[in-house]
Structure 1
């Protein structure tokens, strides 16, 4: 019955529903024309003329928000396992620059499907380094069904060379903002890859334009020691300090990573109203440090969770977020609570929504929000017995318990499979296209493959 909910009003009656203040029983959710219109105890909505769908043994919850993704990088995921930090120079840029229209379509479709399978109904793409039109990314995400906050890269530097004028950058940015304002599931954003990829004038102008338009300004910030040292050498300032000096810190900021923050920089973030995408899996795979996400949260800094394109599994991301804070900070001070579970659930939902500029519209079940929803099977050994469902979602849930994924009131996946296009055909196509792209790209990796690593260690080789 959920499969027809986009055609007429539907009253969803789950066993449990996750609302902004926690888990409730005996509540129903009314969905109409892609929006949540009412949330109330079942008896208050019992007389509704909507089609009723009962979901015993199921949790209805909001879809998760991936506050930092790279949709065009999915072909290179396992190429970077074991690689040192700045893989964008050796893998991502060379690969993306050798992707044609077919490769972009297949990569984005694959990434969008994986996101939905993992429970992400909204992803913030931080900007693609491709030669083609971003309209292709928008069209593919719309077709697959994931909601996309689509970043437009506004770099004017390539190394020391100026590649675009400030007027050219701003003209492109304004076209991007104007292009998507009427779309249901595409929301514009502006981006600069890293502070050193833009002149002072462009950093200032682009952040100001994003602020005036009310859209996120995405930028990779204070992620690696190398980037901080380059910034200090070139400007005498750390990357975040440079943005602050230029007036480019504000509520529009969506700073990816921010793993290396001084106390002064934390204060700057708090006072400016900027948001951080805490990407714990990326930190464990290629980082120099863990973002102080729990401290930022307690100080009132806006925090969402992002995958950085690593592994699009929202429940595993929650677990990684809590575990990284526990190992990195809480254990040393005897804080066994480490956020109490709900903190990481909230950052994956409403925190992410706020960070990507969609507060109140995604990441929560409330009247006026988009009907971006997950139906989770709680009649499984992981949830029986159940004593504290928010903690259980952080520690015990996994994506195979997500039975149905709904975006803008339309069912997109059932048991992980698309309902209106051929997933098996995409996988066959992705195998062929990814092989072509990777083999033709000047990718340079440093560490060996797992098999090479095993052989070296079992012999006399000294490679890491």
Structure 2
């Protein structure tokens, strides 16, 4: 009697590619495939082995592509996409005090946040970002936008002392966060953090309240810190200590703290970072554009401090392009250290994916292609004049590829971008809604 072939395991889909970069382990797999079921990766192996052992209703073959984890944008203000290009070529405090904060005071609302965040999500998904870590007003609107458009988001509840359109003071911000936390926990693509804006906008009482709520709810903290030399100088004058030392004394620093920017670090600051186990979100293009300084990422890495990459908001970057941000980070590190081996391609790729996921507490689910993790993955075509020929696909992704080469994006196994086209939204509708806000903002500038 002939031996019957073993039945194949049924999965939802199989994705095969010329190259797979799982990020962890640090290797390149040639002619391999992923098997995906219920949004999770259930097998990774040579293409023929996967096809011999699994059957799927849906299969995607990517003969000239890299398949890799989606990018994790570790710091955004997504809704500020509506202010892209509004006030350029200005120092940070001038930019904030004379342009951004007045516009926010007049226009920011749940509707504003919803429109701006949806526009940002469209840009990020199209460029291969599958997770973003946000900090802005009306966080429920941002969370609902991400959930509806199928993007993973870590939503920060902003805390500030001075009155805004969102809340009257830090106490009101903390109360709003406490009230909203249970509702957002019901959204499967959303996790949350507390986001005190900066040491210079939140007094000790608000920071203590942040620490207490974070401890009670087991939440990470996401905060701008040491963004400019002026911030550090002002802190020394007002508090007699540098901002990081103040935050450490208040008990905020731990492995669940994400410090954004960190352009001004001395040896004591680096020691505090190392000893506390905090992570840093490096936003090189925003820092360069605002003239804020350059984070010393070579020294940060030498100290073993976790380093992620973020774009910041489109009002100061002016894009949300993680491929571009990753390349800038790698090249900037080499340039300022006079060392071409500083921050090599693999380390830059890790900072833009797995290290970013770990920095926001999501390394268990995303940031690498591993069995059991979510199928948050992207395909980048290397069959393109900008990336051909291919000797090392990791180098091509980091140093050559543009976001126009991102052809497919999956979040939790669901296709969001296919052959460069959005599956879940109409760009013309997003543009029309955004243009209505642009008209109102322009009228404000002409009639302040």
TM-score under structure 2 length normalisation: 0.89
Q: 1:293-332 to 2 correspondence within 5 Å?
A: 293-309=297-313, 310=317, 311-329=319-337, 331=338
2:358 maps to which of 354, 362, 378: 354
Matched with 1:454 is none
Which residue in 2 is equivalent to 1:106?
Answer: 115
Q: CA RMSD in A?
A: 2.3
Note if 1:42 corresponds to 2:47: yes
Change (3 A) 1:157 1:34: same
Deviation at 1:165, TM superposition (A): 6.8
The Cα offsets for residues 406-453 of structure 1, whole Å up to 9 and x where unpaired, read as: 112111123443213211222133223222134326999xxxxxxxxx
Find the aligned partners of 2:445 and 2:108 in 1 and give their Cα distance: 9
Distance 1:360 1:292 in 2: 28
Post-superposition CA distance 1:227-282 (Å, at most 9, x none): 22221222111111110111111111111101101110011001101011000001
Structure 1 pair 398–286 and aligned structure 2 pair: CA distance change class (3 A): same
1:242-253 matched pairs, under 5 angstroms? 242-253=246-257
Go from structure 1 to structure 2 and tell me whether the alpha carbon gap of 1:163 and 1:53 turns closer, same or farther (over 3 Å shift).
Answer: closer
Match of 2:61, SS state, is: strand
- Does the 8 A contact of 1:211 with 1:252 survive in 2? no
Distance 1:185 1:273 in 2: 26
Provide the rounded CA distance (Å) in 1 between the counterparts of 2:150 and 2:420.
13
- Name which of structure 1's ranges 210-219 and 422-431 shifts more when overlaid on structure 2: 210-219
Match of 1:16 among 16, 19, 25: 19
Report the more deviating stretch, 428-437 or 349-358: 428-437
2:154 aligns with 149
- Count of equivalent residues: 427
Q: Give the 5 Å matches for 1:270-289.
A: 270-289=274-293
Equivalent position of 1:80 in the other structure: 87
* Whole-Å separation in 2 of the counterparts to 1:415 and 1:82: 36
- Between 94-103 and 283-292, the greater mean CA deviation after superposition: 94-103
Secondary structure in 1 matching 2:206:
helix
Contact 1:72 / 1:96 at 8 angstroms: preserved in 2? Answer: no
Query: Per-residue deviation at 1:355?
Result: 1.0
Alpha carbons 1:38, 1:367 under 8 Å: kept? yes
Decide which moves more: 375-384 or 205-214.
Answer: 205-214
Classify the secondary structure of the residue corresponding to 1:209. Answer: helix
What pairs up with 1:39-438 in 2 under 5 angstroms? 39-45=44-50, 46-51=52-57, 52-86=59-93, 87-97=95-105, 98-128=107-137, 133-157=138-162, 163-164=168-169, 166=171, 168-211=172-215, 213-309=217-313, 310=317, 311-329=319-337, 331=338, 335-438=339-442
**Which 10-residue stretch deviates more, 59-68 or 371-380?**
371-380
Aligned mates of 1:442, 1:214 — CA distance in 2: 46
Residues 189 and 29 (structure 1), Cα distance of their counterparts in 2 relative to 1, 3 Å cut: same
Query: How far apart are the structure 2 equivalents of 1:124 and 1:290?
Result: 21
Report the CA distance between 1:82 and its aligned residue: 1.0
Q: Alpha-carbon deviation of 1:170?
A: 4.2
Shift of 1:292: 1.0
